Chains A and B, each alone.
Chain A
């Protein structure tokens, strides 16, 4: 009886470990464009998420009425706890855009 009980516990332990393992593996998946806490890869430097860089570009084109309609993000970095600075270039100039993590542009400044 004791042996059977102990065998049952052992099986239960294996089951729990397997389930925990599966949860951990599942936690490695990400379906967001932003890096999550459970990521298995990252970049050596933190850059702004791709979509936020492009939002900055489109808002800059709109605000500065850029001829040709194109502004290209050339670099980005975190700016404070919940925002990013995105540096942009366009025909005839450059600008800096600050955008928060939710995608709201806080400022656009021609350089």
Chain B
């Protein structure tokens, strides 16, 4: 148990320093409002509490998974967007893959922490199984420990990008944002990344198998910076 505790503690530290993307973006309409966060009902005290990284880690340690709402499920979804479109609601921490007949598969996600969230209309430009992770220069400056991976960390279970990655493009340009798996499955439901959308490895593998390159991606996030081109 103490091994798990120390892994979670290390994960919490890493989550804030090893986010998989840096913000080297041209942003328009910057409006840095307070992020909308998740709250969870505390049955013991009968009140809603903030779903902080510490609360999330404890929940995951006890239940072995994120809360039920963040589990993969088919939901009704009224939209004019065509099947195969990905819709990300960063405020509610849900990613929807649109299906026919006004349905969607809903997955739980983790999103950008304060100041790292974004919104826009982009597309899937590339897909990769067990992707290599290369920390950007800014990240190495923030966290010297990441320097050892300056030339790329090979894909695998300890890689922060997890089992699969969908590379987000605007036109033909890589935005540096990805929808990817994670080695920190307890972090689903949190504002914790450097702007990437993280999913647990089973979910990102499922999404990867269903999504085609070129799929439209709509990212909603209240008060976040808007990706140029919207």
Contact = CB atoms under 8 A, between A and B. Distances in A.
Contact of B189 (A33, A41, A45, A73): A41
B70 interface: yes
Say what secondary structure dominates the interface of chain A: mixed
B38 A43 contact: yes
A43 B230 contact: no
Contacts of B79: 51, 54-55, 58
A42 B39 contact: yes
A72 interface: yes
Contact of A43 (B39, B78, B104, B220): B39
Nearest to B91: A47
Nearest to B75: A33
A1 interface: no
Contact of B104 (A33, A45, A47): A33
Interface string B118-139: 0111000000000000000000
A39 to B, nearest CB: 7
A91 B77 contact: no
Contacts of B74: 31
A45 B222 contact: yes
Interface residues of B, number: 42
Interface in A32-48: 32-33, 39-45, 47
Interface in A15-67: 28-33, 39-45, 47, 50-55, 58
A24 B102 CA distance: 29
Contact of A28 (B48, B68, B77, B223): B68
B69 A30 contact: yes
Given A28-B68, A33-B75, A75-B222, A44 B50 contact: yes
B16 interface: no
Contacts of A89: 29, 226, 230
B59 to A, nearest CB: 10
A47 B76 contact: no
Interface centre among A33, A41, A43, A75, by most chain B C-beta atoms within 10 angstroms, is: A41
A40 B29 contact: no
A103 interface: yes
Nearest to B74: A31
Contact of A41 (B29, B51, B91, B106): B51
Given A43-B37, A55-B80, A74-B222, 9 more contacts: A33-B106, A43-B92, A44-B36, A45-B36, A47-B91, A50-B87, A50-B94, A51-B78, A72-B120
Interface of B: 29, 31, 36-41, 48, 50-51, 67-70, 73-81, 87, 89, 91-92, 94, 96, 104, 106, 119-121, 189, 218, 220, 222-223, 226, 230
Interface of A: 28-33, 39-45, 47, 50-55, 58, 70, 72-76, 89-91, 103
